Structure 1
């Protein structure tokens, strides 16, 4: 990706009111901008200067702190100027407008989303995995996710991936050296322990994937959809899981007409719990609003990672429940939740049966809720390993999977004979390219545009 060298500026703090707001500028040389803003007042690099922020005619906008970070010792690797003032939206807009006006002659323009971090990546201040961790840290919805994002931002994930790349690269060197000197009568696979080296790399990759997959749960969470007939206690269960009255509960069937969403945490894993309208046939729906609610319910079911099928333990299953089950999408885990055991006389329990795992609980009395939480963690594949986790993205997991597939094929060629060394080397090259794409050593402009385009402006 080509680096646009024109200076940029943007508000770097979140929209809305706050005690402090920041306007940030970055460029190869910001001295003309600082002269236009502050006249003869010089800003010592990396020192905070309390100074008035004025319009071109001398009118006072605000009074705050200016800090100049001289490149390359800055976030972007360029000169960076930060103006810290009061966090009112009007004040910040006036200050940004003044900065853009003062830098107009030098080509200063408004930054695009993620452009500051993109410049940090292109100027080798961050690799691509670290740059993505910046956005993940901002968006983290749990303490565990924030800790994992911080670890990735510090370079822990990149270091692990680079270690894998180095191992594959060294093995490639041995293989290709043997291909370059075929007259050497050396049993390469035996003498260099190529198979042993490959097995070690594969084992390390599997461990990294395991940690990354766990970290991906921290980032994405699970979409858990509550489904069932009207008045089986879906909203009560949502409230019990959330620990608050987030959904209206009444004995009137059909109270929930549209989805109600709530994000909760179970051992640091974010779960997006979605309560939906009770399902009955469209013909039985009392009005058009309920019909629309039922249609939206099935729309949420189609996007679910886990389906909680609620049934009334006091009345037992019905033919309508069979119709609901028959319409569930294939391949999505389903938990059969038998609610209202306080009325039926059942005990709280988990029963793994051939059709699904059945859980007996009472949402109203908060009995058996912990059993449901444990089953949701089991389905998520969450394990408290005590190991460091990497807040991986989907593209990281795909790259790790693809690298593993190439290494497996390399092992197949290595198990044959020396005549397959060229194929062995090619699979190693492909594995190396997949791993290197994680940190950005091999990345297309289109990929970078997608990644940084999802950042907020000012970051």
Structure 2
């Protein structure tokens, strides 16, 4: 495919040691030859690919020297975009990089749109759509674990998995089409049980990926973890203890926390969004009442709840009410203040919790925090996947496509059970095939592709 020549600043704007202006397209070398004066006189268009050259950027109209630079020349097809690519490494700073970019644009380039360099890499067949999305995931990753999964996706692990799945679906579709097109020929027919077996295997593969997607979403976006409980049980102290810093105000006065406090931390590579909430209780004080309502809103949206109980006090009416509110949620019951004499009825607590996880801690003494972090980590993966697996789905768009493919394969199995003809079954098989193709880009619409690359920064 042929495109015009684009340019953009690829480094963060502001003061820095270096800045990079990137150019990609058919005229990249021609534009460079107009504005670059190499220290050793040479035809910059004729130099070897993937070489670096020292010189100055000069305005060809006025002769003004803009900056002393190093220029990297990379010739197609072995480049990021599979086009001729030039990178001008200049001094950092808004003024220098902006002036050089302006000069490049005046000499024939167009300002790149967000993500257009990566979009060209996709459209020119260098990477698939899932790999392109991995680029933005690498840039926005909050932990090394999230970065590692994004790096695997960029390396093509997910794309290969999707191609293997597409091959299985294509195999099923080919046999079904053969039965339709050559009903009287000596074609190896799949028995009904064999067709069903293949469809079930495909469905099982899709379901495995979907099961791993929740863990993947958390790795990518973070685990929304709400710390709740009645006033003065140590919620803010728990936040401070987990963060290893004094982030929230702690006093002996009930109702000190009036608003929601949010902070990020990492547990074994998993980004955790800790949310400290106002103590949940009945109150007539207006500000505290608003805080309690916000706490309930956060509770409804949380992936995980840390329900803090005070082991030095008996269970109260407010505790029982919170037990009712959190019913059906993912909860870890944090029994705080174990450094004080216990007054809570542990038998009653275990009856209320059932098979739930109870972790005893002392935020003052720093006891039990390691175990709490381990339990949070284990709850993320729920025993279904490990941090070393490669087929974790971290992207909501990919999960949606897999969910749609699952529905199509379930319809295939239903059609087989009801004895529908092969031509009707192929409709749903084709639907599953199209959904899997959306992940790697083979069947993604132009609107979807544009929406993906709009999330990128200009210059990437």
TM surpasses 0.5: yes
**Is the 1:152–1:390 contact (alpha carbons within 8 Å) kept by the matching residues of 2?**
no
- 2:180, 2:34 → 1: CA distance? 63
Per-residue CA distance 1:279-327 (angstroms, 9 max, x = gap): 3445135xx4x45544443343332112222222212332233444555
State the 1:331 CA deviation: 4.9
Matched residue of 1:342: which SS?
Answer: coil
User: Hey, what does 1:10 align to over in structure 2?
Assistant: 8
Per-residue CA distance 1:215-256 (angstroms, 9 max, x = gap): 333112210011223322111111222233333333333433
Matched residue of 1:53: which SS?
Answer: strand
- TM-score computed with the length of structure 2 as normaliser: 0.87
Residues 154 and 250 (structure 1), Cα distance of their counterparts in 2 relative to 1, 3 Å cut? same
State the 1:338 CA deviation: 2.5
- 2:163, 2:445 → 1: CA distance? 19
State the 1:211 CA deviation: 4.7
Q: Compare 150-159 and 401-410 and name the one that shifted more.
A: 401-410
- 2:423, 2:55 → 1: CA distance? 66
Matched residue of 1:188: which SS?
Answer: coil
- 1:76, 1:110 → 2: CA distance? 16
Residues 399 and 191 (structure 1), Cα distance of their counterparts in 2 relative to 1, 3 Å cut? closer
Pick from 287, 300, 303: which aligns with 2:301? 303
Matched residue of 2:339: which SS?
Answer: helix
- 1:67, 1:169 → 2: CA distance? 44
- TM-score computed with the length of structure 1 as normaliser: 0.87
- 2:188, 2:54 → 1: CA distance? 71
Q: Compare 246-255 and 258-267 and name the one that shifted more.
A: 246-255
For this pair of structures, how many residues does the alignment match? 448
Give runs of aligned pairs for residues 346-425 of structure 1, distance below 5 A. Answer: 351=350, 353-354=353-354, 357-382=357-382, 383-384=385-386, 386-390=388-392, 392-417=394-419, 419-425=420-426
Q: Compare 43-52 and 126-135 and name the one that shifted more.
A: 43-52
Superposition CA RMSD, Å: 3.0
User: Hey, what does 2:50 align to over in structure 1?
Assistant: 46
Q: Compare 215-224 and 408-417 and name the one that shifted more.
A: 408-417
State the 1:213 CA deviation: 4.5
Per-residue CA distance 1:42-74 (angstroms, 9 max, x = gap): 332321111112345333332121112223322
Unmatched 5+ stretches in structure 1: none
- 2:350, 2:440 → 1: CA distance? 44
1:99 paired with 2:101, answer: no
User: Hey, what does 2:436 align to over in structure 1?
Assistant: 435
Matched residue of 2:23: which SS?
Answer: strand
Matched residue of 1:397: which SS?
Answer: helix
**Is the 1:410–1:428 contact (alpha carbons within 8 Å) kept by the matching residues of 2?**
yes
Per-residue CA distance 1:4-33 (angstroms, 9 max, x = gap): 933222111123332222111222322331
- 2:14, 2:362 → 1: CA distance? 42
Pick from 80, 83, 106: which aligns with 1:78? 83
Which runs of 4 or more aligned residues in structure 1 lie more than 6 Å from their structure 2 counterparts after TM superposition? 346-350
Q: Compare 187-196 and 420-429 and name the one that shifted more.
A: 187-196
User: Hey, what does 2:122 align to over in structure 1?
Assistant: 121
- 1:73, 1:386 → 2: CA distance? 31
- 2:452, 2:283 → 1: CA distance? 42
User: Hey, what does 2:162 align to over in structure 1?
Assistant: 161
- 2:403, 2:295 → 1: CA distance? 33
Q: Compare 360-369 and 393-402 and name the one that shifted more.
A: 360-369
User: Hey, what does 1:24 align to over in structure 2?
Assistant: 22
**Is the 1:212–1:389 contact (alpha carbons within 8 Å) kept by the matching residues of 2?**
no
- 1:127, 1:206 → 2: CA distance? 23
- 1:219, 1:31 → 2: CA distance? 39
- 2:69, 2:147 → 1: CA distance? 30
User: Hey, what does 2:71 align to over in structure 1?
Assistant: 66
